[in-house]
């Protein structure tokens, strides 16, 4: 029921993932609304099932209060399906704070991980870079950031296929002495860890393709993510304005249109369908509010892939017991 265009985009995305990738899916939300939306897509795909949830949590609701009051909300009902082992993962384009809270409460944390993180895959010149946290844990201790590094490495292996992901710490200079107090302490901890830590990286190196995992606290990560989104919007707006300003540019814009759409696709994180909720005991994907059907279908595929991967085996301590 979440997202700017819900349940239209979520239902269309689920139908697509069920048809194209044969993934069995529970559609959780207002049954009547979901039935009506589903009817627009012809015969119901095999393995697609509606699970009724009486309430929905709005984008502007305070997560804490909403979770307490609406125990029958679609987010909570979907999370319970994961908790009970009926679903292998959960996708939502709704209130990210409520999804995070419900996941922590219903699924619990992975062993040894204290705080959740939201991870996104940024595009780079070559493939992608996992950046976390972009907004779940705002005030972080250095130990939390080290946990995020392990989680990021697990994603870089499972999603990007990196065998020995390079880990960087977001800071304002390469030298270990550069950064705020929190970053300086974290640098020392990461240096002593068995991770492939390449040191501090600056903002401009984020997308150069020379690092696979970038660690930061939820405050820094969120302002970087949103600022970059704002600038991409500004640049595309400026380009649009230029193209419409003269006949010559209008022609160029028409010729260039397929290339611009390709670029937009490369810049969009719709490829993975959204952000990954890291640190909780389950595969949870938080889609962008403006997710379209393609993004929702990709999020469902990403959740399935993630659920097949044992993240906990990448965490400190656990590796030795298993391997």
Instruction: Enumerate binding residues for its own copies (CB under 8 A).
Output: 123-125, 135, 138-139, 170-172, 179-181, 183, 202-208, 216-220, 222-235, 237-239, 242-243, 245-246, 248-249, 251-253, 255-256, 259-260, 262-263, 266-267
For residue 197, the SS3 value is strand
Three-state SS for 131?
Answer: strand
In the 3-class helix/strand/coil scheme, how is 233-276 assigned residue by residue?
HHHHHHHHHHHHHCHHHHHHHHHHHHHHHHHHHHHCHHHCCCEE
Contacts 24+ apart (CB under 8 A), 74-77: 74/1, 74/2, 74/28, 74/29, 74/30, 75/2, 75/99, 75/102, 76/102, 76/106, 77/28, 77/51, 77/53
Q: Which of 4, 86, 51 is nearest to 293 (CA)?
A: 4
Q: Which is nearer to its own copies, 46 or 247 (CB)?
A: 247
Instruction: Compute the least distance from the CB of residue 26 to its own copies, in Å.
Output: 31
User: Nearer Cβ to its own copies, position 21 or 262?
Assistant: 262
- Which residue, 17 or 275, has its beta carbon nearer to its own copies? 275
Place of tokens 């991870």: 119
CB of residue 178 to its own copies, shortest distance in Å: 8
CB of 23 to its own copies, least distance (A): 31
What is the smallest separation between the CB atom of 272 and its own copies, expressed in angstroms? 18
Specify the residue, 202 or 312, whose C-beta has the smaller distance to its own copies. Answer: 202
For residue 221, the minimal CB distance to its own copies (Å) is 9
Nearer to its own copies, 45 or 128 (CB): 128
The residue among 144 and 281 lying less far from its own copies, judged by its C-beta, is: 144
Residue 62 CB, shortest distance to its own copies, in Å, is: 9
User: What are the beta bridge partners of residue 278?
Assistant: 117
Alpha-carbon gap, residue 287 to 295, rounded angstroms:
8
């Amino acid at each position: 029921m979440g997202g700017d265009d819900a349940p239209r985009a979520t239902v269309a995305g689920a139908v697509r993932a069920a048809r194209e990738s044969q993934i069995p899916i529970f559609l959780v939300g207002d049954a009547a609304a979901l039935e009506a939306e589903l009817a627009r897509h012809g015969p119901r795909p095999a393995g697609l099932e509606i699970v009724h949830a009486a309430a929905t949590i709005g984008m502007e609701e305070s997560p804490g209060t909403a979770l307490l009051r609406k125990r029958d909300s679609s987010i909570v009902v979907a999370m319970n399906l994961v908790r009970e082992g009926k679903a292998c993962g959960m996708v939502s384009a709704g209130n990210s704070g409520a999804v995070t809270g419900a996941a922590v409460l219903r699924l619990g944390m992975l062993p040894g991980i204290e705080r959740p993180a939201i991870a996104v895959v940024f595009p780079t010149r070559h493939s992608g870079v996992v950046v976390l946290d972009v907004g779940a844990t705002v005030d972080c201790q250095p130990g939390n950031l080290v946990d995020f590094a392990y989680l990021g490495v697990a994603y870089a292996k499972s999603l990007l296929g990196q065998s020995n992901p390079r880990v960087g710490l977001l800071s304002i200079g390469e030298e270990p002495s550069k950064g705020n107090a929190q970053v300086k302490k974290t640098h020392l901890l990461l240096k002593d860890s068995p991770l492939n830590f390449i040191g501090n990286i600056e903002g401009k190196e984020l997308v150069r393709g020379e690092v696979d995992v970038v660690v930061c606290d939820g405050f820094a990560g969120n302002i970087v993510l949103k600022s970059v989104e704002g600038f991409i919007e500004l640049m595309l707006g400026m380009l649009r304005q230029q193209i419409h300003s003269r006949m010559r540019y209008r022609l160029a814009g028409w010729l260039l249109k397929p290339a611009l759409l390709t670029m937009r696709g490369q810049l969009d994180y719709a490829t993975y369908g959204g952000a990954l909720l890291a640190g909780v005991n389950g595969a949870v994907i938080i889609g962008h509010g403006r997710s379209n059907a393609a993004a929702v279908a990709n999020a469902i595929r990403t959740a399935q892939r993630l659920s097949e991967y044992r993240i906990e085996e990448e965490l400190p301590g656990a590796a030795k017991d298993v391997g």
